[in-house]
Chain A
Amino acid sequence: MVNEVPVVKPAIKVVNAGLQCLLQDKGRLGVGQSGLSQGGAADEHASHWANYLLGNSSNFVVIEIALGLAEFEALIPVQLSITGANGKATINGQTLTNWSNFQALPGDRIKFAGCANGQGRFCYLAINNGFQVTPTLGSASTVVRNRLGGLNGGALQQGDSLSAFECPDFSFYTRKVPEQFIPDYTQPLKLNLIEGYQHKLFSIQSMRHFYSQDFQVSSRSDRMGFQLEKGRIQLPDNLTGIISEGIALGAVQIPADGQPIILMQDRQTLGGYPKIGCISRQSLSQLAQRQPGSSVSFTPVSLEQAQAEWLVFNRFFSSS
């Protein structure tokens, strides 16, 4: 039996799909010129760790659980891991440790009871060898707006069954993410900004004032973009629009009211609002977890430093 080749079977049933549970991987790359959004896990830091805990490649498919509301049932023996927001997850009523892996046997109920106020937005549930989903255009990432990815172009529904490899129990041992890599989503957040795009059109005074302000995450924030409020940046005279151009992940767009919008994974591919640069990918992961009302501010970072941090992060996870 030990040498039996593992087979893919229905592994996890969705008992309660909560607010929005999405299958995500690194995103649908190379489709931007047809006007499609990339998608991908909103918090790469948490989704990469979820895969890492199981020895998975960081591109394996995970479930992103909005505000930690969902319930699943195991159909075969599997190893799972949970990271990200604290959704007060339990297995058969027993508390699970966040940022850790665990085993589930057929019939086990894994329930996420919801994120407390201010305690993050997205929980990640990963499975040994990833959820086995037929990719659409190279990715399983669900982009609801484009009706692509996931099981049928949308969020998971009650009764859906997700396939995975069976994981015999003798392979199980517990891993936990070291404390220093577990973020506290209740803390005020400093976003590292790589200045770029039209930032030179903004005066030194208005950039300085921009860096000195505290902003709040607005309730109009989702996987397309995070709107900030309670602060604003002075737009240069006559600069209300620019020639539409490609938008990078994390771009900070300044509409006419001067309140920044940070563009996330499901962003549109082109935009005609002025932009002052992009926040770093590490900052973006942390921002994705901030609930409305959370305090954020900006600080400039050099391209070299941001790129060095990005490389360290990705090299660590690609070596697993």
Chain B
Amino acid sequence: MSLDLSQIHIEPVSETGLMIYFADSISEETAILIGNSCSYFQSLAFEWLIEIIPSYSSLYIQYDALQLDYLTVKQNLLASFKTMPEASLAATGQGKQIELPACYHPEVAPDLESAATALKLGVDELIEIHSSRVYRVCAIGFAPGFAFLASVDSRIALPRLSTPRKKVMKGSIGIADQQTAVYPQDSPGGWQIIANCTTALFNPDSEPMTPFSVGDSVRFKPVSLEEYLKSGGQRWHGE
């Protein structure tokens, strides 16, 4: 699959904002194309480009309306799609491959055992299924550095908790429906927590602030509780 320009819709949403819609459903190909388009637009360093927020099937763009009006920005974007290199148009990820250590253990992950029971799987099977797949970063949001990864094997898809936790511990790896993600900071949240990752995923002082970009691929590598604690991991202390 490659980028089909006729599928793209550009629509204004505010005095300074527009949406580029790539598709009306979620797919890995779309996530890759959006990630590639996002990097390409940034490489062009448009002076009028203020903010660019990729998501599953769209790109939000905030532009400087003091410099250009909506129609000119739209023309610029359409023209840029046409000059996008072949490699960016192809649905093969140019994104990074990121490996994250994951400690799957009931002492760090409060929902690991109950989730396995609910899924009628052994804990080991759940771990095997979650850690054997390569996930795609489809969106970054909700909280700084929070990457929505798709998609988990349907055998381990889990509903959100009916009552979200007030505090999910930093590094927690959760599942919600077909998605999985790591909580970069302590925060409220309702995903079912099955592991924890000690890699820092958000640091405002580093460049880039977060290791993820939309379109990147992520794989979890199981580590023992001992290794996890040695590399600074903590036992569960959420609320």
Chain B residues, Cβ within 8 Å of A212:
none
Q: Decide yes or no: A243 and B13 within 8 Å by CB, A34-B140, A34-B144 being known contacts.
A: no
Sorting the interface of chain B by its residue count into under 10, 10 to 19, 20 to 34 or 35 or more gives 35 or more
CA distance in complex: A197, B19 (Å)? 8
Chain A residues, Cβ within 8 Å of B213:
33
Q: Which listed residue, B58, B60, B65, B143, touches A307 by the CB 8 Å rule?
A: B65
A243 touches B55 (CB 8 A): yes
Counting CB contacts under 8 A, is B59 at the interface? yes
**A/B pair count, beta carbons within 8 Å:** 132
A34 touches B52 (CB 8 A): no
Counting CB contacts under 8 A, is B38 at the interface? yes
Q: List 29 A-B contacts (CB under 8 A).
A: A31-B209, A32-B51, A32-B52, A32-B53, A32-B62, A33-B53, A33-B54, A33-B140, A33-B213, A34-B202, A34-B209, A35-B143, A196-B14, A243-B25, A243-B26, A244-B56, A244-B141, A244-B148, A245-B19, A246-B19, A246-B58, A248-B14, A248-B62, A268-B141, A277-B13, A280-B14, A307-B65, A310-B16, A318-B66
Interface 0/1 of A253-290, CB less than 8 Å to B: 00000000000000011100000011011000000000
CA distance in complex: A314, B62 (Å)? 16
CA distance in complex: A137, B13 (Å)? 26
Closest A residue to B57 by CB, please name it.
Answer: A243
A315 touches B14 (CB 8 A): no
CA distance in complex: A36, B54 (Å)? 13
Interface 0/1 of A282-318, CB less than 8 Å to B: 0000000000000000000001001100110011001
Closest A residue to B50 by CB, please name it.
Answer: A29
B66 touches A194 (CB 8 A): no
Chain A residues, Cβ within 8 Å of B143:
35
Q: Which of A33, A194, A250, A281 has the most CB of B within 10 A?
A: A33
B144 touches A35 (CB 8 A): yes
Counting CB contacts under 8 A, is A53 at the interface? no
- B1-48 with Cβ < 8 A to chain A: 11-17, 19, 24-26, 38
Counting CB contacts under 8 A, is A125 at the interface? no
Chain A residues, Cβ within 8 Å of B54:
33, 246
Interface 0/1 of B142-164, CB less than 8 Å to A: 11111010000000000000000
Chain A contacts to B: CB under 8 angstroms:
29-36, 38, 136-137, 146, 148, 194, 196-197, 243-251, 268-270, 277-278, 280-281, 303, 306-307, 310-311, 314-315, 318
Chain B residues, Cβ within 8 Å of A29:
50-51, 62
Chain B residues, Cβ within 8 Å of A306:
14-15
Counting CB contacts under 8 A, is B81 at the interface? no
Chain A residues, Cβ within 8 Å of B56:
243-245
B52 touches A250 (CB 8 A): no
Q: Which of A35, A281, A314 has the most CB of B within 10 A?
A: A35
A36 touches B15 (CB 8 A): no
Closest B residue to A309 by CB, please name it.
Answer: B15
Closest A residue to B54 by CB, please name it.
Answer: A33
Closest B residue to A36 by CB, please name it.
Answer: B144
Chain A residues, Cβ within 8 Å of B146:
35
Chain A residues, Cβ within 8 Å of B26:
243
Closest B residue to A275 by CB, please name it.
Answer: B13
A278 touches B141 (CB 8 A): no
CA distance in complex: A246, B53 (Å)? 6
Counting CB contacts under 8 A, is B115 at the interface? no
Shortest B218–chain A CB gap in Å is 15
B15 touches A246 (CB 8 A): no
B14 touches A269 (CB 8 A): no
Chain A residues, Cβ within 8 Å of B109:
none
B13 touches A307 (CB 8 A): no
Chain A residues, Cβ within 8 Å of B141:
35, 244, 268-270
CA distance in complex: A249, B210 (Å)? 23
CA distance in complex: A278, B70 (Å)? 15
B55 touches A270 (CB 8 A): yes
Q: A29-B62, A36-B144, A244-B56 known; 15 other A-B pairs, CB under 8 Å?
A: A30-B50, A30-B51, A33-B38, A35-B210, A137-B204, A194-B12, A244-B139, A245-B57, A246-B54, A249-B14, A251-B13, A278-B17, A307-B70, A310-B65, A314-B66
